[in-house]
Structure 1
Amino acid sequence: MRYAICFTPAANDPLSHAAANWLGRNVFSGEMVEPTAIPGLSLHEVAFHTAVPRRYGFHGALKAPFRLAADQSEPQLLRELMRFCGTLTPFSVSRLEVARTGSIFSLVPSLPCDNVQYLASSIVAQFDQFRAPLSDADIERSDPDGLSAAQFANLHRWGSPYVMDEFRFHMPLTGPVSLIDMPRIERSLRSVFEPVLVDPVKISNVALMVEEGNGGPFRVHSLHPMGKVSARRERVPVPA
């Protein structure tokens, strides 16, 4: 079983609904969603191009999937995440937009956002104590020969190549797409997502995601609000 620390909108957010319909799975319930007909793409094509992100669910990774260290437990991770989120201040990122990131399509901020970069770096550092060391197989799956020097150093220090200065916030929507299919896929993605990408996106919670079994799909385990919540004590009448 692995955990990941991510951002995803609330379950009732229009963006969450659009993403669940596109990917064919609800990241909160884990249930499959009957796909909606999309002009220009067959249901088979949508299922093929969304196979990889469907497993991970709609999210923007802040700390990549990790196994718990031998001396840590899920309750300890939850307590620290709740405490840590209480020290954070909610913020907004500029309007998200459909963009190509390498050979895949994702939602990315239309303008750079220092706040999300800082949030991700802080989470990577703060929760590294919960991460089990990478195995040799984990390192090989990261294709170390294809990494830059900085990415290779990140892999061994933080368990992922794409952290700190190498981090780029994105919410994946497809797996690898061939060059010939890219224009058609991009048009379809814009028709699905642009209606719900009009306003800035508020980052006001952090999601703990969990992998179901070994190699199974990820789902949201819990959402943790950012910022301090004033404790409200209910007054109990004092007996006369």
Structure 2
Amino acid sequence: MTRRYAIYYAPPTGSALAEVGADLLGRDPETGEARPQPRLDGIDPDRFHAITEDPRHYGFHATLKAPFALAEGVTGEALHAAAEAFAAGRAPAAGPALALASIGGFLALVPSAAAPEVHALADACVETFDRFRAPLTAAELERRRRSPLTPAQDRHLERWGYPYVFDEFRFHMTLTARLTDKAEHERVHAALVERTAPVCVDPLRIDAIAVYEQDDRQSPFRITGRYKLTGAPA
């Protein structure tokens, strides 16, 4: 059994964004409790439950440092302490309002325009927390490479344990699996545009980072620590 950790953005507890995400995915990553998913016009409830299975497993979030096992000799307590120290020295990151978009067939909430402060926060998380990460095994590398990667993405995978960092990073909060059927994609997109519209108005503000954990790969991720970004602006 290998416990894994991740550094994610999780919307503030009880915020409209957190509630919408937990409702749509059918699970609250804070409490671990299942939630009844809303019925969406034109979408079979069982099918919607199926296409949200993968993001439900990870919990509603945006990746800052992708899931990793701890390096030898490193403890979870040390990671949490480092996350707290990092947050104390880092200012909140501002960005534009979110918008629903398709990323390779996945539907996700993404910034509606460039978000350099958010990008810089993610870059800093990738670098700062890499010392806690165990190297990927040969099997993990092989699994990642089953999806086509560019040479740059493969170099990131080798160095940082994840291909979509730095120049390949895109902030996103995933809501579905990849939808390959065009008609279904359009139906789900239309339903989610309506459902997420209320949280796609105000500018994005990331004022905390969260540590997520899972007991093993079959277990869902849970939030086990939130750390406020309280540093002074640069």
Query: Do they superpose with TM above 0.5?
Result: yes
Mapped partners of 2:111, 2:103: distance in 1: 12
RMSD: 1.3
Whether 1:81 aligns to 2:80 is no
Equivalent of residue 104 in structure 1, options 98, 103, 106: 106
Equivalent of residue 162 in structure 1, options 161, 164, 173: 164
Report the alpha carbon displacement of residue 145 of structure 1 after superposing the two structures with TM.
Answer: 7.2
What whole-Å deviation, never above 9, does each CA across 1:68-103 have from its counterpart, x for those lacking one?
001210111111111111111113210000000001
Percent identity over the alignment is: 36
In structure 1, the partner of 2:215 is: 212
What whole-Å deviation, never above 9, does each CA across 1:167-186 have from its counterpart, x for those lacking one?
11101000010223111010
In structure 2, the partner of 1:182 is: 185
What is the TM-score normalised by the length of structure 1?
A: 0.92
Mapped partners of 1:172, 1:161: distance in 2: 17
SS at 2:210's partner residue? strand
What whole-Å deviation, never above 9, does each CA across 1:52-82 have from its counterpart, x for those lacking one?
1010110000010000001210111111111
**Aligned amino acid, residue 195 of structure 1:** P
Maintained 8 Å contact 2:93/2:121:
no
Mapped partners of 1:146, 1:198: distance in 2: 35
Maintained 8 Å contact 1:212/1:219:
no
What whole-Å deviation, never above 9, does each CA across 1:118-155 have from its counterpart, x for those lacking one?
11111111111100010011101111672111111101
In structure 2, the partner of 1:122 is: 124
SS at 1:80's partner residue? helix
**Which structure has the greater CA radius of gyration?**
1
Mapped partners of 2:146, 2:158: distance in 1: 10
Structure 1 residues not aligned, in runs of 5+: 230-240
- Segments of 4+ moved more than 2 angstroms: 212-215
**Aligned amino acid, residue 173 of structure 2:** M
In structure 2, the partner of 1:143 is: 145
* Count of aligned residue pairs for this structure pair: 229
